[in-house]
Structure 1
């Protein structure tokens, strides 16, 4: 799935008279996007492999910044899937393919710190956050 397919308000539709794509000079687009339209978006890597999809977006309520995208990987129809909190800074929006890119291969993701959907980590714990950012080679922006 991609953000255009989740767009129930039509915010990514082309402006009247434009041939295709969003009118980036007005309203939402690659620089400002609706959170609900990002849930379910595919995440791939530099090798064009699909890594999973975004299940949730975690917002730091103190700063108002997006901290993590919760990525689902593995399993079948929700069974046996593993969840990963990926720092928002590690994801890059690929507007051409309408997906997110994460610079990691499948094996690295399989070995990444993850969690079960019924046992979420304490994402407010600074030591947990530091370990996640260290794994993905990012630094918090807030």
Structure 2
């Protein structure tokens, strides 16, 4: 039991759990922003273009409501709104990842002097150069 607690403490303290919690909190907040964007900004003009049809209310009625029996319907309009939410979130994440990758590639390029290269990348680059020089020397000795 003590080993399990120690492993959990290491997991939580090393940042994995904290990073994950931060990501979930930011993701939830971003989801709220996108929901509001779709419902309050995107859908009203779309509604005007479709003769004031509210997409969220669109549905296929399978059984009409009668005395004591509820309506059974497939709400495809809400599903379309959720798909629009998903597309916006997915596109935003795609753009962010492209931006982060570009910045990371610049940072890891030892020849790029605009962005300071991380120490581990500098050391690996130096090691690569030293190994190339060593190989040249060894080849000359064999000849």
TM range (shorter): under 0.3
Q: Which has the higher helix share?
A: 2
Q: Structure with the greater relative contact order (CA < 8 A, sep ≥ 6): 1 or 2?
A: 1
Higher strand share: 1
What is the TM-score normalised by the length of structure 1? 0.20
